Amino acid sequence: MTLLSHLNWRYATKKYDPAKKVPQPVLDDILEAVSLAPSSNGYQPYDVLVVTNPAIREKLRAAAFNQPQVTDASHLVVFAAWDSITEDNLGKVFDRMAEVRGSSESLAERRKSALAGFAGKTAEQNFQFAAQQAFIGLGFGLAAAAELKVDATPMGGFDAKAFDDILGLKELGLRSVVIMTLGYRDASGDWLVGLKKVRRPKADMFIEVK
Ligand SMILES: Cc1cc2nc3c(=O)[nH]c(=O)nc-3n(C[C@H](O)[C@H](O)[C@H](O)COP(=O)(O)O)c2cc1C
């Protein structure tokens, strides 16, 4: 099957079968795809929480307009961006770059100028930058799930502040951005499963600049 056929197969699943769990190796592959997503300068300025605890997921569901996917899917993945960009978090990325590729003067220079750049911006600006990167991770996760025939739902319909409180994200220097549920559809109870995909006509959406 081609990538496009997988992408046509996937849809934002509304109803999951709570009895069906995504096997750990399959979950690991989806998370690896998230980690392989590109990010600005390779900073990956977000963390990814995999929430399986049922009591916590009940609380999160209440903070997500009671959307049933939050509790019924096999796994709930929360993309949480760094609440600012500092020596503490970005420094570790540069340490990792040095570990994998070797340290160099140019890497040390890049580190210094990147940290100075982020220090000149507000925490909110830095968070917004980080949040944009998290969405790319979401996209890769959704595509990987489709390829593995795992149903998934990208979800922005939740109270981010409440999620942060429930998950203790402030203490971790994180803010929730977007979530993705993973599992297997309950086709009999899902109003969206049989409906055709709606996409804007290509002629409207794509503009050729010749
Ligand atoms: C950022 C974002 C937030 C979304 N929030 C929700 C949500 O809270 N609940 C939900 O059921 N679907 C949500 N969706 C799914 C979209 O409604 C869905 O992707 C879109 O209608 C296209 O349909 P398809 O994914 O089935 O092709 C969200 C999608 C994205 C990308």
State pLDDT tens for residues 90-121. Answer: 999 999 999 999 999 999 999 999 999 999 99
**Domain count across the chain:** 1
- 69 lies in which domain range? 3-205
Q: What is the DSSP string of 98-124?
A: HHHH---HHHHHHHHHHHHHHHTS-HH
Give first-to-last CA distance, the chain, whole Å: 33
Q: Is 117 within the bounds of a domain? A: yes
Q: Is 210 within the bounds of a domain? A: no
181 CB near ligand 1 (under 6 Å): no
Residue range 165-190: average pLDDT?
A: 97
Q: Is 174 within the bounds of a domain? A: yes
67 CB near ligand 1 (under 6 Å): yes
Residue 1 predicted with pLDDT over 90 = no
Tell me, in angstroms, the distance from the centre of ligand 1 to residue 154's CA: 5
- Measuring from atom 19 of ligand 1, which residue has the nearest CA? 12
| Mutational test site, ligand 1, from 66, 153, 163, max ligand atoms within 8 Å of CB | 153
CATH number reported for the structural domain that contains residue 186 in this entry = 3.40.109.10
Cβ atoms of 153 and 12 closer than 8 Å: yes
Residue range 184-203: average pLDDT?
A: 95
- Measuring from atom 6 of ligand 1, which residue has the nearest CA? 155
